[in-house]
Amino acid sequence: MKTIFPIHRNLSQQLGFGLLTAMTLATVLPIIAVIAYIIVQGAPAISPEFLTRVPNNGMRNGGIMPAIVGTLYLTFGTAIFSVPLGVAAAIYLSEYAADTWLTRIIRIAIINLAGIPSVVYGLFGLGLFVLFLQFGTSILAASLTLSIMTLPVIISTSEEALRAVPQSFRTVSISLGATRWQTIRRIVLPEALPGIITGVILGLERAAGETAPILFTGAAFFLPRLPGSPFDATMALPYHLFVISTQIPEMPFQIQYGTALVLIAFVLGMNLIATVIRSRARARRQW
Amino acid sequence: MNKIVIENLTLQYTDGTESLRNINLGICEKAITVLFGPAGGGKSSLLRCLNRLNDMADVKFASGRILLDGIDILSPKTDVITLRRKVGMVFARPVVLPFSIRGNLTYGLEVMGEKRRSKLDQAVERSLKQAALWDEVKDRLDDQAIALSGGQQQRLCLARSLALEPEVILLDEPTSGLDPISTAKVEASLQELKKNYTVILVPHSVQQAARTADYAAFFLQGELIEYGQGKTLFTTPQDKRTENYVTGRFG
Amino acid sequence: MESQLSWQEFIITRVIKASGYSAIVFVALIFYFLLREGLPTLTEVSAANLFSTRWYPIEEYYGILPLISGSLVVTFGAALVAVPFGLGTAIFISEITPRWAREILKPLVELLGGLPSVVLGFLGILVLSPHLRALLDLPTGLTALTGSLLLGGIAVPTIVSVAEDALDSVPRSYREGAWALGATKWQTIWRVTLPAARSGVLTAVMLGVGRAIGETMTVMMVTGNAPVLATKLSSIFSPVRTMTATIAAEMGEVANGSTHYHTLFFIGMVLFLISLAVNITASAVVFRQQKRAERVLS
């Protein structure tokens, strides 16, 4: 009889392994169940109309197109601010920073940014972008808020990708008369790019699914038109799901599940792209 | 004629340990000078001073001067970028950049700003011929450099430095990972190269030192023990420690 | 041509360095704004009120204790769920499964971590809470328990991810040494590998708990939103309200500059300080472990 672990006479080991197996199954199976359930319940709602039409009858009918578009705008807006800043910060930490107390403080700051509750980001965004800078409830304010929230993820994964590039490349480049920036631009950055892109996608995926930071900074429940400028508010998928599942009486279940399905399809789709990029890059690496 | 003159060089690491102590040495131009001795002697550190690669490590120069054609390259005013093009280096393990063969060779010129196709192609052919690699790769210059064998990669690294038309070539145990045939090819290249370049070599064995040296310097624990002509130093060393090392009593 | 390159490089290098410091700038900014809008609370609301057990802003009751207790109860419950399951799964993936299974299980768990919290809250409302209500015969399914279970589910991927990495980076030689001395795999895990990965595992737990404390949408959707102080063990079966849910639920209705507005920012400040404390402790633990390891290995 074959088992995945060798049969030992030691009873406590067998019990222990059995317990751990059970725990893992209890963790993993619900994940599959959850996703499968949403797919099954939500699939009937998915149709071209659902994805391209505007909602009506208090959201109980029609489609969720504005929410989809809004999420795309917000994701794009987050990328514009967080990617350049995050990657630049990662380059600084990996290629320029010395091991001083200042660098250590920067790292602590990044860890802290990563741990701040999303609703506190919402408060901050409200205080700074909406009110103080007077951007109002807008795509701009929401994107900026989401960008700062996404920054730590992008910085950490990008720094890791940069550090993974062998030091010997840098040494050789310098010995041939290149400057530090030339070395980064021609060798280190291109080689680290797949890892950086993976990190960026994972960070943006998280931003796309967040509700609390956009609650007071950019999300609106129903807008008659699509947003025309960054200073307009927008609908967004996570916020839409929140409202239709908690605030609307007699909301058809199918539409709720359909919205949830679209949201997780968006998020998991990005995850899939990131994973594919990561494994293809690993296969092609010359080091 | 001395191409490089090292005066009273003492090198310290940032944690205070000393790597080189009061080195005084002249490197003759257009000849092969060999720096040899047991591990930890400071030979690699000295090499890395010559192209200021030590700037990248936790090193702080304590004192001394290194004169290249009469100019102190340790002074803060030195343009290290130009220095590194003049003084090329080949490392112990062949490190090919993640480009094609051609890309590796033109890298140094491209970072200088050279864009002209003709100049780049000329440099590629010239340097490959000097490294005795041209015939083997001339038909596949656009293949990835990583596909070459170990010996070919190391000769590529040599060609890479030569593409910049340096004046001095530093080699830090360049054949340590190579088979005897590749080693012989590299040593033969050096004999050709010394006609036009100043060559400084850290060998990986005393035998290689004896085979190749026009001049030789013996280093022990950061100090220069003895310096002399290759012909005589290995057969009749003056210092007892040199003799013990050369005859294999320690190492 | 060379001088042009160095002029460009100079600017780029400056920009990169400035970006490096940006994280500090943002943390400071966030702290500043929270303080700016939150501190007035201390002048507008008496300490007796603030630390009372009644949160009812419409009638000027601003007791934050029920909210803190709500957060604590739900987080504690989440930890009870997440820590055993998270660590157990991490140990299983790292020490027991073969290499190929790891490549499937780890991404699968990380998948759960990627699910938006609002989706889990949504499922909590539609699926979990009716079931719990029926199962445990409760007046409502929207309770602290529901929140704890879901939060546990949210915290597990974080714990698994970080702990598994920590366990995986324990050098193979440690395990082999134990096996060579005759220990079984099980004994090796508990006596050698786990202690060796102690700091990473601790970090994993702290990060998971930190994630649970900071979670907003899920708790807002399933914990019933009743700001009642938890006094008995059975409180876990009643509705509660967390600090995060309070901010999210009420911020949309407050007048800018009002006392209620300031109090919500005050709560935000408390949350910020809690997460700061958790993160600094986690870093300090890791740092000290590293120093100890360096001493041992040198």
pLDDT (tens digit, 9 = 90+) per residue, C237-262?
A: 888 889 999 999 888 888 888 888 99
Q: Would the pLDDT of A211 be above 70? A: yes
Report yes or no: B188 at the C interface, CB cutoff 8 Å: no
Higher pLDDT, A151 or C137: A151
Q: Which residues in chain A have Cβ-Cβ distances shorter than 8 Å to C92?
A: 20-21, 23-24
Q: Would the pLDDT of B8 be above 80? A: yes
C41-297: CATH superfamily = MetI-like (1.10.3720.10)
pLDDT value of residue A64:
84
Q: Would the pLDDT of B246 be above 50? A: yes
**Whole-angstrom Cα Rg for chain C:** 23
Q: What whole-number percentage of chain C has pLDDT above 90?
A: 23
CA–CA dist A232, A229 (Å, integer): 6
Span A73-92, average pLDDT: 95
CA–CA dist C223, C239 (Å, integer): 5
Nearest in space to A168 (alpha carbons), one of B104, B168, B89, B94: B94
Q: Across the interface, do C19 and A92 touch by the CB < 8 Å criterion?
A: yes
pLDDT value of residue C8:
85
pLDDT value of residue C292:
65
Task: State whether residue B21 is helix, strand or coil.
Answer: strand
Residue B80 forms part of a structural domain = yes
**Residue A199 structure tokens:** 């990190």
CA–CA dist B128, B163 (Å, integer): 8
pLDDT digits (tens, 9 = 90+) for B95-132: 999 999 999 999 999 999 889 999 999 999 999 999 88
CA–CA dist C176, C188 (Å, integer): 9
Pairing of strands B198-202, C55-56: unpaired
Task: State whether residue B227 is helix, strand or coil.
Answer: strand
Give the other-Cβ count within 10 Å of A49's Cβ.
11
Q: Which of A176, A183, A184, A286 to mutate to test the interface with B (most CBs of B within 10 A)?
A: A176
CA–CA dist A63, A50 (Å, integer): 4
A49 min Cα distance to partner chain C (Å): 22
CA–CA dist C60, C145 (Å, integer): 29
Q: Would the pLDDT of A153 be above 60? A: yes
pLDDT value of residue B18:
74
pLDDT digits (tens, 9 = 90+) for C34-71: 999 999 888 888 888 888 888 888 888 888 888 988 89
Report yes or no: C215 at the A interface, CB cutoff 8 Å: yes
CA dist A27 → A99, B12, C113 (Å): 40, 56, 12
Strands (E), chain A: 55-56, 61-62
Return the axis-axis angle of helices C129-136 and C144-168, rounded to nearest 10°: 110
Span A215-227, average pLDDT: 84
Domain hosting residue B152, numbered range:
2-246
Q: Across the interface, do A92 and C127 touch by the CB < 8 Å criterion?
A: no
Specify the fold of A64-284: MetI-like fold (1.10.3720)
Residue written as token pair 């279940």: A253
Instruction: Tell me if A237 sits within 8 A of A70, measured CB to CB.
Output: yes
- By Cβ distance, the residue of A24, A106, A115 closest to C23 is A106
Residue B251 forms part of a structural domain = no
**Residue A93 structure tokens:** 């930490």
- By Cβ distance, the residue of A10, A119, A271 closest to C248 is A119
Q: Across the interface, do B107 and A171 touch by the CB < 8 Å criterion?
A: no
**Whole-angstrom Cα Rg for chain A:** 23
Report yes or no: A108 at the C interface, CB cutoff 8 Å: yes
If you measure CA to CA, which chain B residue comes closest to C5? B113
Residue written as token pair 């907003």: C216
Give the other-Cβ count within 10 Å of B207's Cβ.
10
Pairing of strands B59-68, B2-13: antiparallel
pLDDT value of residue C46:
84
Task: State whether residue B88 is helix, strand or coil.
Answer: strand
Handedness of CA C133, C138, C139, C145 (dihedral sign): negative
pLDDT value of residue C162:
86
Burial class (CB in 10 A: 0-12, 13-18, 19+), B1: exposed
CA C135 centroid distance within chain: 28
Report yes or no: B98 at the A interface, CB cutoff 8 Å: yes
CA–CA dist B12, A76 (Å, integer): 51
Span A152-173, average pLDDT: 93
CA dist C178 → A180, C88, C166, C174, C181 (Å): 46, 21, 18, 6, 5
Cβ neighbors of B37 (< 8 A, separation 6 or more) are: B43, B218, B219, B220, B225, B245
Chain A / chain C CB contacts < 8 angstroms: 257
Nearest in space to A220 (alpha carbons), one of A230, A234, A207, A210: A234
DSSP one-letter code for B114: -
State the virtual CA torsion across C139, C143, C145, C146 in degrees, nearest 10: 100
DSSP one-letter code for B196: T
Q: How high does pLDDT run on average in chain A?
A: 88
Report yes or no: C135 at the B interface, CB cutoff 8 Å: no
pLDDT value of residue C1:
34
Nearest in space to A245 (alpha carbons), one of C232, C142, C190: C142
pLDDT value of residue A5:
53
pLDDT digits (tens, 9 = 90+) for C215-242: 899 998 888 888 878 777 777 788 888 9
pLDDT value of residue C27:
93
Span A164-184, average pLDDT: 93
pLDDT value of residue C188:
84
| Per-residue pLDDT band at C3 (split at 50, 70, 90) | very low
Nearest in space to C17 (alpha carbons), one of A89, B44, A267, A159: A89
**Residue A106 structure tokens:** 């920067």
Q: What whole-number percentage of chain C has pLDDT above 70?
A: 94
**Residue A2 structure tokens:** 């074959």
| Amino acid letter, B71 | I
Q: How many CA atoms lie within 13 A of B25 on its CB side?
A: 28
Question: In residues, how long is chain B?
Answer: 251
Exposure class string for A155-181: b at 16+ Cβ within 10 A, else e: bbbbbebbbebbeebbbbbbbbbbbbb
Q: How high does pLDDT run on average in chain B?
A: 89
If you measure CA to CA, which chain A residue comes closest to C218? A242
Instruction: Tell me if B217 sits within 8 A of B224, measured CB to CB.
Output: yes
Burial class (CB in 10 A: 0-12, 13-18, 19+), B211: middle
Instruction: Tell me if A59 sits within 8 A of A247, measured CB to CB.
Output: no
Instruction: Tell me if B160 sits within 8 A of B128, measured CB to CB.
Output: no
Report yes or no: C1 at the B interface, CB cutoff 8 Å: yes
pLDDT value of residue C298:
45
pLDDT value of residue C289:
64
Q: Would the pLDDT of C166 be above 70? A: yes
Cβ neighbors of B71 (< 8 A, separation 6 or more) are: B78
User: What CATH number is given to the structural domain containing B175?
Assistant: 3.40.50.300
Report yes or no: C164 at the A interface, CB cutoff 8 Å: no
Higher pLDDT, A59 or A169: A169
Q: Which of A105, A120, A153 to mutate to test the interface with C (most CBs of C within 10 A)?
A: A120
pLDDT value of residue C297:
54
Instruction: Tell me if C116 sits within 8 A of A264, measured CB to CB.
Output: yes
Q: Would the pLDDT of C5 be above 80? A: no
pLDDT value of residue C138:
80
CA–CA dist B120, B160 (Å, integer): 12
Q: What whole-number percentage of chain A has pLDDT above 90?
A: 48
